[in-house]
Each structure stands twice: as C-alpha cells, then as structure tokens.
C-alpha cells in the first residue's frame, strides 16, 4: 500500500473536550473528554445506548454537538474529513446504488493523491471476487467489507469505525483485524466502537469504556481488568464452614455448581491462605483472572443491573 503521509507525531490525532450531545430530552454524551494519539488502536466499549455512536458521529462532524469541541488531525472535523485525513465506517453507512463495487472504489480513489491500488485493497479487505458485483446485490457481511474498502481507499491516517465487524463471519473478522493491525503498525490510528469484548481485548492497545455518555474506564485491557481486581477461586468442597464462605477474607461473592464452590475475591492471596489453613486439601483448585467481560459488567450500568 502507499506510504502514509507525514503527520505531526506529537499532536493528538483526536482531541475531544467537554463533548455534550443531546437529542431533545436525552443526554447521550455528557461532557466527555478523550485524547487519542497517532498509532493507537482504541476500542470504544459500552452497553447499548451508552453514547458510542453519538461520540463517533460528533467526532466526524456529522452534526454540531450541544457543547464541547472536537479536533481531528488538528482541524475541525469537517475540514479533516474533506482533506481526506479520515476514513469512516458508520453503523448505517450507505453504498451508492446501481453501481459496481469496483467502479465505486475507483471513483472514490480518484479523489486521492495516493489511493491504495485497487487489487491490493481488494485483497486486504477480502473483496477480490466482489469487484464486478452490483452494490445492491451484497450480503450483510460483504457489504461491510466493501464499506471498509471505501473507508481505506484513500489510506487515511485516521480510521473511525462504528461496529465494523458486526455482520462479518469469523474468517472475515480475523482478516479484518489482520488488516487493521498492519495499518496500526504503519502508524495509522484506528478507533472502533464494538460490542465484541474478545476483539477489544485481543486487538486494541487501549480500551475506553463509555457509560451514560461518560468515560468510566480508560487504559489497556489488562489495566481495566486489574482495576476491578477480581479473581475467582474454584474448588470442590461439599461442606461450607459454619460461618459461611463469605466470612473468608477477600470474598465478595459465592457461587455453587454441584459440589464445586466458586468464590469471587478481591484479595486472592488472603483468600487462599485462609482456605488452605482450614482445609488440608482443596480438590480441583483453580484461580481465574477477571475477564474483560467481567470488568465491563462491573464498570457499567449493565453490571449494576445484575
């Protein structure tokens, strides 16, 4: 693919301050601050209605926010998009009708000084066999791959993607993330909203959790998981202590599955010490770290409802 054009490496690629989005009575984004630097791959996570799409759409300058400011590549969003600095894939992105996929990509590419050569772009996005296909004769997953190719054709330094893999099958999803990793290695910045926590965990070097229009956690997936400091200790033990498992130091929750006990703990060391002092044997003892999903549920209102 063509080399990426030079950008100021120190300046933020996305700088959002005090972003507020209201739709009549709904406060969708509530004074959100977010700064993203060149080369970062950032996942925006949050439950349905958290405000992710509103942040993405406002960041792209698709509407004027109620308050706050957004700068993309050091410019107003509309100017950065018009200059070809931003590739976007929206949740309800449309394709021109009555056209062939290859024609559309050639046409968009002709607007750029250094478009990604069509054959290479088609290979990277898995649409080699779709170039002659009509845009209104695509499946949901094929459509998503073509939308991705449209976002990438100008090889923009910044990619903003709203649930880019939601209609893709497992193979297409893996290919998609390989392409994204390649772009990130070349210094492109990738920001994507997703509900796939496993993808965020595997692909993003930074995870931003949004809830009720605010950032409730921001850091590497590992840091976010560590922040809830949750571990699960499992073992087989038919008899609980007389005072109950909750009396064991560190334990915050107790579950049972047949004769297997599952203790949620915030202090795994104290919990294990206390258990081993009391029980000579803890058959099938296992200790698990928190998954990003557990962290997500704890950090957002989804968890509070449980």
Q: What residues make contact with ligand ATP under the rule CB under 6 A?
A: 23, 26, 28, 46, 48-54
Of 233 and 292, nearer to ligand ATP (C-beta) is 292
Q: What is the torsional sign of CA 174, 36, 209, 291?
A: positive
When the beta carbons of 49 and 102 are compared against ligand ATP, the nearer one is 49
CB of 295 to ligand ATP, least distance (A): 17
- Token pair belonging to 197: 């926590």
21 close to 58: Cβ distance less than 8 angstroms: yes
Q: Nearer Cβ to ligand ATP, position 28 or 191?
A: 28
Residue 253 DSSP code:
E
A 10 A CB-CB count for 84 gives: 18
| Minimum CB distance to ligand ATP, residue 292 (Å) | 16
Least Å distance between CB 50 and ligand ATP? 4
The minimum distance between CB 63 and ligand ATP, in angstroms, equals 9
Q: Which is nearer to ligand ATP, 93 or 249 (CB)?
A: 93
- β-pairing, 67-72 vs 14-23, is antiparallel
Query: Quick one: 38 or 52, whose CB is closer to ligand ATP?
Result: 52
**The two structure tokens encoding residue 283:** 């058959």
Residue whose C-alpha is closest to residue 157's, from 86, 260, 263, 242:
86
Least Cα distance to 52 among 216, 223, 249, 167 occurs for: 216
* In the complex, least distance from residue 219 CB atom to ligand ATP, rounded to whole angstroms: 19
């Amino acid at each position: 693919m063509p080399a990426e054009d030079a950008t100021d490496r120190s300046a933020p690629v996305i700088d959002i301050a005090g972003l507020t989005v209201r739709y009549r009575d709904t406060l969708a984004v509530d004074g959100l601050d977010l700064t993203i630097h060149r080369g970062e791959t950032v996942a925006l996570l949050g439950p349905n209605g958290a405000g992710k799409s509103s942040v993405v759409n406002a960041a792209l300058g698709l509407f004027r926010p109620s308050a706050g400011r957004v700068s993309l590549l050091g410019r107003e969003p509309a100017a950065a998009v018009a200059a070809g600095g931003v590739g976007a894939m929206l949740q309800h992105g449309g394709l021109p009708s009555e056209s062939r996929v290859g024609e559309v990509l050639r046409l968009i590419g002709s607007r750029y000084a250094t478009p990604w050569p069509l054959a290479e772009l088609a290979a990277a996005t898995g649409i080699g066999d779709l170039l002659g296909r009509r845009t209104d004769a695509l499946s949901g997953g094929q459509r998503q791959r073509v939308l991705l190719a449209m976002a990438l054709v100008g090889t923009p330094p910044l990619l903003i993607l709203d649930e880019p893999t939601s209609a893709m099958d497992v193979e297409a999803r893996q290919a998609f993330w390989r392409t994204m990793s390649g772009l990130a290695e070349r210094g492109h910045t990738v920001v994507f909203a997703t509900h796939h926590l496993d993808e965020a965990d595997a692909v993003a070097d930074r995870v931003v959790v949004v809830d009720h229009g605010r950032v409730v956690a921001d850091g590497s997936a590992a840091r976010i998981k560590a922040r809830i400091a949750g571990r699960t200790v499992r073992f087989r033990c038919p008899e609980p202590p007389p005072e109950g498992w909750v009396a064991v130091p560190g334990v915050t929750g107790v579950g049972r599955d047949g004769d297997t006990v599952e203790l949620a703990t915030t202090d795994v060391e104290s919990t294990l010490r206390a258990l081993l002092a009391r029980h000579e044997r803890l058959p099938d003892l296992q200790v698990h770290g928190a998954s990003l999903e557990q962290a997500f549920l704890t950090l957002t209102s989804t968890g509070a409802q449980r």
